[in-house]
Chains A and B, each alone.
Chain A
Amino acid sequence: MTNKYSKWIWGVPLWILAIAFLAPFAWMISTALKPDVDAYKIPMQWIPDPFQWDNFSTVLSGATSVLPAFGRSVFVALLRVAGELITATMAGYAFARMSFKGRDKLFLLYLATAIIPAQLLLVPRFIYFQKLGLYDTLWALILPGMFTVLGTFLMRQFFVSQPAEFAEAARMDGANEWRVFTRIYLPLATPVMSALGILAFVWSWNDYETPLVLISNPDRYTLPLSLTNFVDEQGQIAPGLTMAASVISIVPVLIVFVVLQRRFIAAMTHTGIK
């Protein structure tokens, strides 16, 4: 069954399917590298002729640059990842290793909030952030993004799976709870933390709905919002510029994905939740 040829009997159709699957991305790159007049040429011109980088230089410089938005997306993502890791490890540890009254009931209640869609909470968040003066600032994106139920859940499951003897031994030596947490359990948790960090980064980087509602000033747009800058008032899209900016928006997640693919996929399948 696993001889040389049977591999290709399935391989060839799957590769053809994969290439068709990639067509939108190929189209994106091709359009980014050609003048707009060629964007809708019939038949489609895959290899740009003339080949030009003008679209990239336009979206990377001057008034139309997406770099400030890129920077804001990086800023938001870094703070969200850092916040997520801190809150998830601490809450996860508390739910797993510390004993307090009603701990497991509280954890269940906490888990139950995961089924509440973020979209439902947007209206009150919109109102509160306006009252607090956080509306239309990056903090409106960062603060609620600094913890997720999923993150706490992941970390709790990990800490529960770790033997309690480590902690007991350390406590005998006079270590307090904080030392036990930071010196013993936290170093063990680095693989899970990196998986969670990757997920948090991708969530933050690709988030479009939250900034759509909570950010209105184009000077504070994050990258996904700024991609819509190349659409004029009549809804006409500038193909080359939009695609060049889109390519730029994909590069960071693509790098994370390619470099950390194994860990990335492990994170996705362990949590199974976007």
Chain B
Amino acid sequence: MNPIAGMGGRVGLKGTDGEAYEEALRRGARPVSPHRAIEFLNHVRSTDFEIIAAAGAMGEEEVLASNKKDLLRLVVGERKERTTAEDTKTAAREMVEKGTDIIVFVGGDGTARDILDAVDEEIPVLGVPSGVKMFSAVFAVNPRAAAKVLDEFLRGRTSLVEREVLDIDEEAYRRGVLRIRLYGYLKVPLPRDDLLQYMKTVSKGGEEEENKLAIARTIVEDMEPNTLYLLGPGTTVKAVADLLGIDKTLLGVDAVVNKKLVGKDLDEAGILRLLDRYSKAKIIVSPIGGQGFIFGRGNQQLSPRVIRRIGRNNIIVIATWNKIKDLPYLRVDTGDPDVDEMLRGYIKILVDYRRYIVKKIV
């Protein structure tokens, strides 16, 4: 648990990274995450598991204050007065080494980033939301919902999906500039609709990886010759490159023509140069989980100028069933209101082998 996460919110700060923590304290901020951690723990129904907690204010105290105190098996890290990002990383790392099956963290985007640095996709991670900024798609809706997910995970009824960790420049954010970068992916448990398996319905694509492959296969089968394909960030889009045998930058934009790589980790200028060379071009993007942004979050290289030149009809949106089912809308925030307006309206989303659904971009 990040003991200082979320403290900036009530006192009008945009986070507690770096210097802001001191300022938050000066403004009289009080901790919020301990309360949320306890709420989470108290709502977990299962009791047949054990807990490894980070020392002191980073989880140990909350476990002991909850109705799960008897389940505490081990404490990692050192008890400290002031904790830092390094402490989060060390504790998470140690938990992996002690063989935990899942890490539950309480915090915001900054905490998610630290966990990602420490454990990458080695083990599943579940976020209990308690930050000011929670742009990342690794959080449950609230502590109680997180408790339900953990229960399902413990019963073996979840699928593991990769979800985005987004990195916000807090300094810029406090100045009112939203600069968001896709930082990476964590492996998150998602409750499975196992009841659907025997109901009057076709299987919704089965497991996540198979679903991605089905989407990728459709894209590859439909690829037109001499057309520039700009592959946006993310694992769903990466599956297309994998199928083509191309080594794609996971977090960047790559370009493909006639199933061959013609540009890697491109910036806006690089993309525009390629657009000069090819008369036909298409963009392939996947929405950010939980939020539905297809432009303006983690893929700013696909700028308003790029989008304008390629045109709305040449935007291919792809998403797995697991990702799309909880998204009521898609969103755009390119920074250019005219381009945003042009993008709005209904669009087809490729969700499985030759299978599309129609959703609105708002």
Judge: A and B partners, yes or no: no
